[in-house]
Structures are given as structure tokens and as C-alpha cells.
Amino acid sequence: MITVGLDLGSVTTKAVLVEGSSWTSLIRPTGYSPRQAGKQAFEELLGNAGLKRGDIGFIVGTGYGRISVPFIDKAVTEITCHAKGAHFLVKEVDMVIDIGGQDSKVIAIDRFGNVTDFAMNDRCAAGTGKFLEVIAAALGLDVSELAMLSKDADPVQTSNMCTVFVESEVISLLAEGVKRERIIAGIHQSVAARVAAMAERLGKGAHIVFTGGVAKNEGVREFLCKELGRDLHVVPESQIAGALGAALLAREEVRLKSL
């Protein structure tokens, strides 16, 4: 039985195809149309595997664009999907921290990979990938360069949480001659502190898996460990955890139906 999970995020679209115990994946930019991006990613995924639509048993869509893709069989929230995916990747996981482009989430999980509770940031972008992107742009950098630069720097605190205000605060810090490494470290620390506060509210996880695009940022990762006072499981598949979870849920759906 072959199933597919599609995670239509605000920045990237992730697709995972699961067959038995093996799986393949791809990541593409979402662009302006999640519907188009979803369709293309799906077709490419099938093409790579030499499969046709008819070969796929079930498709679960997740991510903010899940509602706009007509060809999926079922839509499931990214919260449930990330939990499933993380549980598959790290068996003992009991908490997922997922920082994506638009939002950050903390998800508490039972030992079967089911969600027991979750917390999510409010409307504002503080503590999300978008926040980091805006800051990077203000510093004339690409967001992927942030982590490297902040290494070992002594963080300078910013007082604002609002993305727009932090941006101007960063600019005035630069004008004062503060080194940008320290500014970036400070920003990383503030993202980490915010997410850690959410995590503490849900109770302490012993095995925390860090997923989502920002999990690739070593700077945030380090500060998050510090704030939480424990290590994080970082998996190479962090970015596709949601899509993987979706594909696994699709597999459960097929199994349930064949009972």
C-alpha cells in the first residue's frame, strides 16, 4: 500500500510518499499558490517513483494551504501530523517544538504519537520563521546565514517583541555600532525564550523533537537548549516531519478502511 502526505506551508511545500517502511520526499517553494505548488510537488513525487495517481491509496493534506488543494482525500492539521511524524522519527518523543514560517507550536504527545495538548503563538509573527526573515533582511543577510554568524557571540537583548518594532530597534543598534553578530544572537535568544515559555506551560518534555524550517538554525537551537535546560533531538528530516506524519496518517486511514 502506498500513501502520500502533503504539507502546504506558507514558505515551502513538502511531499512524502510512504511505501511499507521506506519513504521518499521532496521540498519545493510554495510561491503564491499553494494549490499549484501542491499539484506540482505531488506529480513530481509520483514521477520520481514511476507511479500513477491510481497507485496511491490515500492522500492526507496538512499545513495552512491544505484547504485549497482539491485532490487530497482528507485534511488534517499540522499539529496532529507533526506529532505523528516526530513519533515515527524518534520513538520516545513526548514533545514537539515546531517553528515554521508563520507560526510556532509546542505539541505534547503520548507514547503512541497522539496529541494530548498543544500551544501556538498568537497572531503576531514574533518567534516564527517570518520574524527571523525580517531581521535577516534588515541586516542585509539571507536567513540561512544567521546561524553561522551568531555563533559564540554575546547576545544583546532587544526589548521589543513586535516584528516591526524590532526591525527598527535592530537598525538603531547597528547605528550605535553594536556588532551584528551580537544582535543576531540576541534575536535567536528571544525566539528561543518565547517558544520555551510556551513549552513550559505544557509541562516539561523529556524527549523534545525540534521540527519545522527554523530547526535548521543552529543559533536558535542552541539557545532553545539553554532556555529549556535540556537537549533537543534534532533529526535531519525535521522539515518534512509534518508531511511524513500526513503520509503515515493516510496509511492508518487505509488500514482502518480495510478492517
Residue ranges that bind other proteins, judged by CB under 8 A: 64, 76-80, 103, 114-118, 120, 122-123
Nearer to other proteins (CB atom), residue 120 or residue 171: 120
The residue (of 57 and 65) whose beta carbon lies closer to other proteins is: 65
Of the pair 83, 187, the CB lying nearest other proteins is at 83
CB of 29 to other proteins, least distance (A): 20
Q: Which is nearer to other proteins, 52 or 123 (CB)?
A: 123
Least distance in Å: CB of 146 to other proteins? Answer: 25
Ramachandran sector of residue 178 (left: φ over 0; alpha: ψ -120 to 50; beta: rest): beta
Give min distance, CB of 79 to other proteins, in A: 4
Angstrom distance (rounded) from CA 155 to CA 181? 8
Comparing CB distances to other proteins, the nearer of 198 and 225 is: 198
- CB 173 to other proteins: min, Å: 27
Least separation in angstroms between residue 143's CB and other proteins is 22
